[in-house]
Amino acid sequence: MGTIKRMRALHALPLAAAVLLALAAAGSAVLVYSGAYNVGASWQHTQAVYSMLELALHRSVQLRARNIETPLLDDPRRIARGAGIYRDNCVQCHGAPGVAPGDIGKGMQPVPGPLIAAMQRWQPREVYWLTRHGIKMSGMPAWEFRMDDAALWDVVAFVQRLPDLTPNAYAELAGPAPSAAWQGNNRGAQPMPGTASTPATEGNVERGRQALHQYACHACHVIPGVVGSASHVGPPLAGLAGRNLIAGRLANTPQNMRRWLQHPQAVKPLTAMPSMGVTDAHAADMAAYLATLR
Ligand code: HEC
Ligand code: HEC
């Protein structure tokens, strides 16, 4: 008796799996056709969708880059050339040590993270592949037709050096930016027009959560309530409300938090956290949200 039951149960397994798969497929079809999934970049992905996309990206690049041979990358001239190429073509989206990304980079989804962390996630040959071919449906351009092979490897050689570069070392290596046209949107600490004049006294928690996302803070921080890859360029912001000091320097008051968010380099000149052009109102909103992270 017992064995027969068990055998029946075993036969039922593939059937159950098939039914589950069919349900999942039907569910996805409904989600897609109904238009229920929000594609606007003002809203975050759900964690499930985000994780699936990240995994697909990783596996796809690993597979395609596996046979690429990496040339020698530690020639200082190569790194210096790469720094110039990076300054002209990559900073506006990815930022650099001491330099925040421009408005275009900050508004993108997925957010183009600082490439300091990329060397932990990717082999040099994979960075080469990503730079050469770009990433579909992400806004990462393919540079294949705009850079020759030597230039592509130059920039990889430079990206490899990013984790060791202080803001000053970067500025020296890359030299001044040639045209402000692309990066002119990178207004440093100046507030965005139209949003400047509201002297926010009290921040709004939910707007703050959205602002953290729209300023791409999650490119460097793990922030509860903001979906992104687990980036540890900066400290995780969970439990921030319970900390005594901000960045080891300022007493953790709402006023000081706003000051830090708007002018981190004025508080701590060598900090790797760039000035992101955060407005008064947005700083107040972000501080309000951060104060809820216990
Ligand atoms: C117009 C904006 C833009 C420009 C310019 C740009 N990128 Fe990107 N980049 C992106 C986006 C968006 C992603 C995708 C981020 C994701 O999927 O998480 C990305 C991803 C990457 C990645 C993978 C990073 C990771 O951590 O997974 C690398 C490497 C990269 N870019 C290199 C470069 C280099 C080198 C340049 C300059 C030659 C450059 N990018 C210029 C937008 C840009
Ligand atoms: C390029 C990476 C980067 C970006 C982008 C960035 N940060 Fe940071 N952040 C850091 C680093 C690195 C530190 C550590 C600073 C230090 O102690 O010098 C830090 C520190 C902090 C701290 C203090 C944390 C603590 O434990 O004391 C807060 C709060 C913070 N960041 C919030 C933000 C917010 C909000 C944004 C978006 C407006 C943002 N950060 C964008 C890198 C970044």
141 shares a domain with 80: yes
Residue 97 included in any domain: yes
Residue 136 included in any domain: yes
144 shares a domain with 94: yes
23-40 pLDDT, tens per residue? 989 988 888 888 888 888
The residue range of the domain holding 85 is 61-183
Q: Do the beta carbons of residue 89 and residue 143 sit within 8 Å? A: yes
Residue 123 included in any domain: yes
Burial (0-12, 13-18, 19+ Cβ within 10 Å), 259: middle
Residue 199 included in any domain: no
Structural domain count, the chain: 2
CB burial readout 37-59, b (16+ within 10 A) else e: eeeeeeebbeeeebeeebeebee
Confidence tier at 185 by pLDDT (50, 70, 90)? very low
The ligand 1 atom at the shortest distance from the C-alpha of residue 109 is 12
Lowest-pLDDT choice from 74-83, 109-118, 283-292? 109-118
255 shares a domain with 154: no
pLDDT at 179 exceeding the cut of 60: no
161 shares a domain with 90: yes
DSSP of 275-288: P----HHHHHHHHH
Residue 145 included in any domain: yes
241 shares a domain with 176: no
138 shares a domain with 67: yes
Q: Which residues does ligand 1 sit against, CB inside 6 Å?
A: 57, 89-90, 92-94, 105, 108, 110, 112-113, 115, 117-118, 121, 127, 130-131, 135, 138-141, 143, 155, 159
Confidence tier at 186 by pLDDT (50, 70, 90)? very low
Q: What is the CATH number of the domain that holds 109?
A: 1.10.760.10
178 shares a domain with 219: no
Question: Which of residues 126, 150, 183 is at a domain's end?
Answer: 183
Residue 87 included in any domain: yes
230 shares a domain with 153: no
Q: Averaged over 188-202, what is the pLDDT?
A: 45
Give the C-alpha separation, 139 to 246, whole Å. Answer: 34
152 shares a domain with 103: yes
Residue 99 included in any domain: yes
In the chain, % of residues over pLDDT 90: 51
220 shares a domain with 177: no
**Going by CA atoms, what residue is nearest to atom 33 of ligand 1?**
131
101 shares a domain with 166: yes
DSSP of 135-197: BTTTTB---TTTS-HHHHHHHHHHHHHGGG--HHHHHHHH-S-S-HHHHTT--TTSPPTTTSS
141 shares a domain with 109: yes
Q: Do the beta carbons of residue 292 and residue 241 sit within 8 Å? A: yes
Confidence tier at 79 by pLDDT (50, 70, 90)? very high
Residue 214 included in any domain: yes
Q: Is the shortest distance between the CB of 272 and ligand 2 below 6 Å? A: yes
**Which ligand is closest in space to the CA of residue 130?**
1
Q: What is the CATH number of the domain that holds 211?
A: 2.60.40.420
